[in-house]
């Protein structure tokens, strides 16, 4: 039997009821808004003061903003069809539900958008939305377990926007330039964000109380992040990841086996050497017998201090939010889906018009980026596959 855990203790909430069909709520609301294009339903499904963010740099504080953003998307991609790939959830009728939804959208770019005029090209977007859903106890016409009784109060959306731009055969640099012209870019990171302190004593491993009688999922996930990312114990990957581990990440990165994932981590740390990852929220469902499905929202802080796919190091401070879903079986990660906005990251690392007088010109940056990201037409992890044989 599946069990749900919250982010502060690793135990089943037996005293709470879970009559509400949260999975049906997710699927039906998504179908109504995106497939049937009943955008006005957002006023029912989302709380008036809903808060959240899209791809780290587009915050919203009311359901009207959600309506406007949805209209913009559907005007540009009118034949949008959404498919729900998985729903991880935790919670109960009394406290509400946390959900993490993996989804895929297929559409054609037949309308104008922030990317420019219609290209007619087909796109496939993948992403993860983490939400908080509360039951509307004021609606006396609905039974507590009816799916219409829910209302979303928080939503955090991450999707691969850079992949969308590439599928449209457009230049992300040109789009950034246009967005900068019309002041549509995210604001630069404040200086204090870049002052990153990482513990080196490694004594504090987790906030979860140990219990020798069972496997603690949250404790396991937090320890893996601390060890591998924050303390650079990259050789410990074998303690957390199965040999046939699979990774699905932004930029259409598909990795197989733990040694490829180890290379990818080294690449990320090389670009942002003082990286620090903080876990903002965590929940999961499952059992030791069936395995666990988990969701983690996180924030990465760092400085652009190394060469790589984003060009020569600029020293600029970055703040990156993301969502990661894991499948854990027999005490190890077997599969991972991670989404964060590489396009948003490129915006943070851009060289503004005012900065160009004292920095490398954009054409030189682009040329070096091409050399760094592609060798004989292959990205670094694909080249690694070929070298290995």
Structural domains in the chain? Answer: 17-181 (3.10.450.50), 199-388 (3.10.450.50)
Query: Which one is predicted more confidently, 352 or 229?
Result: 229
Q: What is the average pLDDT value for the chain, to the nearest integer? A: 84
Task: With cut-offs at 50, 70 and 90, classify the pLDDT of residue 200.
Answer: low
| SS (HEC) of 290-332 | CEEEEEEEEEEEEECCCCCCCCCCCCCEEEEEEEEEEEEECCE
CA 125 – CA 104 distance, rounded (Å): 6
pLDDT at 373: 44
Residue 122 phi, psi dihedral angles, 5° rounding: -85, 140
The answer on pLDDT for 139 being more than 60 is no
DSSP state of 190: P
Query: Which one is predicted more confidently, 173 or 215?
Result: 173
pLDDT at 92: 92
CA 349 – CA 362 distance, rounded (Å): 12
pLDDT at 18: 78
Query: Which one is predicted more confidently, 4 or 154?
Result: 154
Provide the percentage of residues in the chain whose pLDDT is more than 70.
76
The answer on pLDDT for 16 being more than 80 is no
pLDDT at 334: 98
Helices 258-271 and 380-388, axial angle in degrees (round to 10): 140
The answer to whether 269 and 275 are in contact (CB under 8 A) is yes
pLDDT at 277: 97
The answer on pLDDT for 203 being more than 70 is no
pLDDT digits (tens, 9 = 90+) for 253-295: 999 999 999 999 999 999 999 999 999 999 999 999 999 999 9
159 contact partners, CB below 8 Å, separation of at least 6: 55, 125, 126, 127, 128, 339, 341
Range from 77-91, 303-317, 362-376 carrying the lowest mean pLDDT: 362-376
Query: Which one is predicted more confidently, 158 or 58?
Result: 158
Task: With cut-offs at 50, 70 and 90, classify the pLDDT of residue 319.
Answer: very high
pLDDT digits (tens, 9 = 90+) for 26-51: 999 999 999 999 999 999 999 999 99
Cα-atom radius of gyration of the chain, to the nearest Å?
22
Task: With cut-offs at 50, 70 and 90, classify the pLDDT of residue 184.
Answer: confident
Q: Which residues of 331-360 are buried (b: 16+ CB within 10 A; e: fewer)?
A: ebbbbbbbbbbbbbbbbbbbbeeeeeeeee
Q: What is the mean pLDDT of residues 361-383?
A: 45
């Amino acid at each position: 039997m599946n069990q749900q855990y919250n982010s502060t203790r690793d135990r089943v909430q037996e005293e709470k009821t879970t009559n509400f069909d949260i999975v049906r709520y997710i699927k039906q609301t998504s179908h109504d808004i995106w497939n049937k294009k009943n955008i006005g339903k957002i006023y029912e499904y989302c709380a008036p003061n809903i808060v959240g963010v899209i791809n780290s740099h587009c915050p919203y504080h009311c359901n009207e903003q959600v309506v406007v953003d949805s209209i913009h998307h559907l005007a540009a991609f009118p034949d949008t069809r959404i498919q729900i790939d998985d729903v991880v959830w935790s919670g109960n009728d009394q406290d509400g539900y946390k959900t993490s939804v993996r989804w895929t959208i297929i559409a054609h770019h037949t309308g104008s958008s922030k990317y420019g005029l219609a290209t007619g090209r087909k796109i496939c977007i993948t992403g993860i939305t983490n939400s908080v859903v509360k039951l509307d106890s004021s609606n006396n016409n609905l039974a507590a377990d009816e799916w219409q009784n829910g209302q979303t109060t928080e939503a955090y959306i991450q999707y691969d926007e850079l992949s969308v731009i590439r599928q449209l055969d457009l230049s992300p640099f040109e789009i950034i330039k246009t967005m900068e012209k019309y002041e549509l870019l995210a604001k630069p990171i404040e200086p204090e964000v870049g002052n990153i302190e990482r513990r080196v004593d490694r004594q504090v491993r987790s906030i979860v109380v140990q219990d020798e009688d069972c496997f603690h999922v949250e404790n396991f996930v937090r320890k893996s992040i601390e060890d591998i990312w924050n303390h650079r114990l990259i050789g410990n990957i074998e303690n957390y990841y199965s040999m046939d581990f699979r990774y699905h990440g932004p930029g259409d990165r598909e990795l197989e086996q733990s040694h490829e994932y180890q290379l990818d981590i080294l690449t990320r740390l090389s670009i942002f050497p003082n990286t620090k990852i903080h876990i903002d929220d965590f929940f999961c469902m499952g059992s030791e017998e069936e395995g666990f499905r988990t969701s983690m929202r996180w924030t990465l802080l760092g400085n652009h201090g190394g060469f790589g796919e984003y060009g020569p190091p600029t020293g600029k401070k970055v703040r990156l939010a993301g969502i990661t879903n894991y499948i854990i079986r027999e005490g190890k990660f077997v599969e991972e889906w991670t989404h964060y906005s590489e396009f948003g990251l490129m915006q943070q690392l851009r060289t503004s018009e005012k900065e160009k007088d004292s920095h490398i010109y954009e054409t030189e940056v682009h040329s070096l980026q091409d050399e760094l990201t592609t060798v004989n037409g292959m990205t670094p992890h694909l080249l690694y596959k070929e070298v290995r044989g």
